[in-house]
Structure 1
Amino acid sequence: MKISELEKKSGISAHTLRYYEKAGLLKASQRSANNYREYSQDDLATARFIQACKHSGFSLAETGALLAIKGNKDQHVCAEAKIITHNKIKQISEQIKQLKNMQNTLQKLEKICCGGAESAEFCSIISALEGEQ
């Protein structure tokens, strides 16, 4: 199948499929005589796997590692995929913690501001961000 058909079947744009190819995650099974990419059902499965990784929050590097495990299951152990997943969970947990801290800070800033129509010279949020409060 050509890239346009892979795009339709996978739901991934042709631009993104080409990006995945440049990143080394996806490779067309073959090239036609006129140098068009030709994709197989296995390539479609790989594209869907990459998309599932993306939706799960894995980076391109992590996706590449998971693809390597998927491609050579007999050469890898389940623990490898679990470590990648565990590390992603730790990373996301840290991001959630940082976002909650940001949210708390913003809520405090919002509470100290009257939100009135007076000049921003007296705005508590601006002052707090300037370090005056």
Structure 2
Amino acid sequence: MKRFLFLCSIAMAVIATPVFAADVGVSVTVGQPGFYGHIDIGNVPRPPQLIFPEPVIIHPVAVGVVLQPIYLHVPPGHEKHWGKHCQEYNACGQRVYFVHESWYNDEYVPHYQREHGRGKGHDKDRGKGHDKGEKGHGKDKD
């Protein structure tokens, strides 16, 4: 009986392992390849390459309300079926320009990383340890 229970427990562990392995999260933020969502064009040196020359809007807003258009980087095909996907981006009532994947990866990502990533003081103490270059702890820190 003990052997049967032991074999059952091993079988359950083998069956349950893929379930736990599927619970892996990946975080991608703006300015990284693979990010999809609203991007701030700001002072990007080259203008965005647009998929459509005119903005797309699914649900027009009330008369007299003027919203600035937004720029989105979306997975291939989302722009063609925008009415189906606009809620995922909270952009159904917005005028939306879709940027090309190549422009996002080749122009926007490097620009964003130069402006917001390393090199702008974010990792200035990297590699010095938690003491920031001091000579150590305690009374013998000559």
Q: Same fold (TM over 0.5)?
A: no
Larger-gyration structure (1/2): 2
TM-score with structure 1 setting the length: 0.26
With a CA cutoff of 8 Å and minimum separation of 6, indicate the structure with the bigger relative contact order.
2
TM-score with structure 2 setting the length: 0.25
Q: Judging by fraction of residues, say which structure has more strand.
A: 2
Q: Judging by fraction of residues, say which structure has more helix.
A: 1
